[in-house]
Structure 1
Amino acid sequence: MSWSAPVANGVEITGYRATASPGPAGCTTDGVTSCVIGAEAGTSYTVTVVALSAGGASPASAASGSVTPTAPVVATEPPDTDLPLDTGDGAISSAAPGQALVMIGDGYAPYSTVTITIYSSPIVLATVTADQGGAFEETVTVPGSLPTGSHSFVAAGVDSDGNLRALRLDLTIAGTSDDGGLPVTGPAVILLIITGFTVTMLGAAMRSVRHHRPRHRR
Structure 2
Amino acid sequence: MVDAGAGSGKTKILVDRVCQLVDEGVAIRNIAAVTFSEAAASELRDRLRAELSDTHPDEVADLDAAAIGTLHSFARRILAEHPVEAGLPPVVEVLDEVASSVRMSRWWSTVRAQLLTDDALAEPLRVLLDAGIRVSSWSGGRGGASMEALALRLQSHWDLVEDHLSHVEPPPIPGPDFGVVEAVMDELLDLLGECADAEDKLFVRVEQVLAW
TM-score, normalisation: structure 1: 0.23
Higher strand share: 1
Q: Which has the higher contact order (CA 8 A, sep 6+)?
A: 1
